[in-house]
Amino acid sequence: MKWIGVVDTMFSRVNMGEIALEALAAKPDRGQRFDVVRRTVPGFKDLAVEAQLLIQSHGCAIVLVMGMPGAEAVDQICAHEASLGVMAAKLRTSTHILEAFVHESEAGGDEAQLAAICRDRCAKHALNAYDMLFDPGSLVARAGGGVRQGFADAGRVKVEA
């Protein structure tokens, strides 16, 4: 059985971890082929090391980290630092860590919209994590498909032979 790690933050205004847990709970092979472990950290700059710990100490085969950068300029720099940390944790562990960040500014101040983006992005990335473990061919089939999380897909541009 493989472990999928799910890490979110207290700082986020939406319970992103719960969304991911629900998406994965709907899989019929939950508890047989995989199970989920969840952690919460204070803010998104704490996600990288928690993901690394889940891989190193808990044996997770993949981790999904979720956070919500605020709307201030300093929040963008912090999000950049958080992402660089997640990138470094992937390379240190040679393990995929999917990053689902929802910037508060994406919703333009509309809380229902904010929740909708979180629901879509976190659920889709949870399913991506599942596919990367158990059905990598399905990703190749979608290569170049303009696939998006949080919004509708952007669509494919054909290359003339």
Residues 39-68 that bind a second copy (CB under 8 A): 39-42, 45-46, 48-50, 52-53, 56-57
Q: For a second copy, which residue of 4, 5, 8, 44 counts as binding (CB under 8 A)?
A: 8
With a CB cutoff of 8 Å and minimum separation 6, the contacts of 62 are: 2, 4, 5, 95, 96, 97, 98, 129, 132, 133
Distance CA 112, CA 109 (A): 9
Helices (H) and strands (E) in the chain, counts: 5, 4
Q: For a second copy, which residue of 44, 83, 121, 150 counts as binding (CB under 8 A)?
A: 83
String of contacts with a second copy for each residue 17-36, x by CB under 8 A: xxx-----------------
Q: Judged by CB, which is closer to a second copy: 42, or 59?
A: 42
Paired with 107 in beta bridges are none
Regarding 115 and contact with a second copy (CB under 8 A), the answer is: yes
Regarding 148 and contact with a second copy (CB under 8 A), the answer is: yes
